[in-house]
Amino acid sequence: MRIAQTLLLLVALAVIPNAQVNAETPKSMMFELRTEFYNPEIDSAFESATPYEDAFGTDFMWGLGAYVDYQLLRDYGSLAIGAGIAYNSITGEAVEAESDDETSLYMMPMTLGLTYRFDMLAQRWSIPIVPYAKAGLTCALWWVTNGKGEIANTRNPNSPYEERTGWSTTFGFYYGGGVQFLLDVFSHRMATTMDSEMGVNNSYLFVEYLRHSLNDFGSAESIELSSDGVSFGLMFEF
């Protein structure tokens, strides 16, 4: 009996250190780096004029962004609250006659919202796919520059033709979702090392679609910056 107890104790001592090495560190946050494509619907606010297309053609704005969230709940998936910021820009030609000056449109959208990730497929059944949904509030600081790199001014094409300064902040909301692909499946040893040494539990590639309703909640006085946006990048869970 004593021999059996001694053997069980030795086995337990051998297993416990390995369990500690292989155990995941606690996880409560997600950080992402993204590149995004954005096509503001500025021209939809005009009956006949197309100022955005005239200056920038049919090209998309391109930008980089970051997003971080904190996981509030982890039962039946993950519910998180987070915030993000991005920097988007596009350059075209001024629409004035006999002018070849460049003009640029810049946007810094900022978001605050909730994300639900259905990560049970990856966590419980080793399927490396995590679908998710997002929704929240957004605002965008935007400005237009002229050929000298200065903030541009313009006049309203319709009566009363008042002058407008080429920068402002516009508010709205967003919703959409995406899919994450768990990169840990390619190298479990590297994933374990990143977890134990840097606290990064999981790494993901993701692709995302968001609908931005960005027009001061439907105000007739607002610039129309709404868009269907697509982004992709890397996520790190820690």
Q: In the prediction, which pLDDT does 126 show?
A: 82
Predicted pLDDT at 31: 96
Look at residue 107 in the predicted model and tell me its pLDDT.
Answer: 96
User: How would you write the pLDDT of the chain (238 residues) with one tens digit per residue?
Assistant: 554 444 344 334 333 333 333 456 777 899 999 999 999 999 998 888 888 998 898 888 999 999 999 999 988 899 999 999 999 999 988 776 455 678 899 999 999 999 999 998 877 888 899 999 999 999 999 999 987 777 877 655 555 555 667 889 999 999 999 999 999 887 677 767 766 776 678 899 999 999 999 999 999 889 999 999 999 999 999 8
162 three-state secondary structure = coil
- Strand 202-214 to strand 167-182: parallel, antiparallel, or no bridges (unpaired)? antiparallel
pLDDT at position 99: 58
Contacts of 184 (CB under 8 A, 6+ apart): 128, 191, 202, 203
- Confidence (pLDDT) at 47: 84
Rounded to 5°, the CA angle 115-180-233 comes to: 95
pLDDT for the residue numbered 157: 55
